[in-house]
Amino acid sequence: MNTAPTKTETAAPAELDLDARLALVGALMDERLALANVAFEVDTAHIPAADPLPEVTAPPIITPGPVPCPYSTPLAATLHLARIRLETGGWCTGALRDEQGAACLIGAIRAEALSRDQADDACVVLLEAIQRDFADAETIPSWNDSQRGPRLALLYLDRAAALAHSRNQ
């Protein structure tokens, strides 16, 4: 006896709107969170009460000290110290020093030089270093005032210091 397979009819699943689906997922998540909370309590029940955390203090802020001068010659050392003065005290144009304590190239050199002659000699070396790349620079003040920031002033103080050191000045 051959019988044809019978078709069973299944009902189509009911479509849930967004609010119903969110409520269903929310109920499932609440159940999972409650179960996880119970599991956590069971897992940590054997741990004795922990001592309160000790107070943690931040380490002291360490500020780097002055870098030792890499030059042993007096003019090179003066030019290096003038660079440090410009870095820490600030750079300005149009005056030897401004009200905030910033200095121009010559002001920084004069502040660090031990004598007027040493300052003049350091300025001669600096002008030579500047004129190697800027042939139209007539004086240090005019070149300093034409700069937009301290970057080149610091660079040429470094180059002048290296030049003075190579000449043993």
Q: How confident is the model over 102-138, as pLDDT tens digits?
A: 999 999 999 999 999 999 999 999 999 999 999 999 9
Q: Is residue 46 part of a domain?
A: no
- State how far the Cα of 90 lies from the Cα of 102, in Å rounded to an integer: 4
Domain that holds residue 125: 74-166
Q: Is residue 122 part of a domain?
A: yes
Nearest to 79 by CA among 3, 24, 154: 154
Q: What is the mean pLDDT of residues 134-158?
A: 95
Strand partners, 91: 103
Q: Give the pLDDT score at 117.
A: 96
Residue pair 86/153 in contact by the 8 Å Cβ criterion: yes
The token pair at 106 is 């010559």
Q: Is residue 18 part of a domain?
A: no
Cα-based angle 82, 84, 89 (whole degrees, multiple of 5)? 95
Confidence of residue 4 (pLDDT cuts 50, 70, 90): low
pTM above 0.75, yes or no: no
Count of structural domains within the chain: 1
Q: How many CA atoms lie within 13 A of 105 on its CB side?
A: 30
Q: Is residue 5 part of a domain?
A: no
Buried b vs exposed e over 75-98: b needs ≥16 C-beta within 10 Å?
A: bbbbbbbbbbbbeebebbbeeebe
Q: How confident is the model over 46-67, as pLDDT tens digits?
A: 666 656 667 888 888 888 777 7
Q: What is the mean pLDDT of residues 20-41?
A: 92
Q: What is the mean pLDDT of residues 75-90?
A: 95
Q: Is residue 141 part of a domain?
A: yes
* Cβ-based burial of 125 (10 A; exposed 0-12, middle 13-18, buried ≥19): buried
Nearest to 158 by CA among 110, 125, 131: 125
Q: Is residue 115 part of a domain?
A: yes
Q: What is the mean pLDDT of residues 1-28?
A: 77
Q: Is residue 91 part of a domain?
A: yes
- State how far the Cα of 107 lies from the Cα of 121, in Å rounded to an integer: 14
Q: Is residue 88 part of a domain?
A: yes
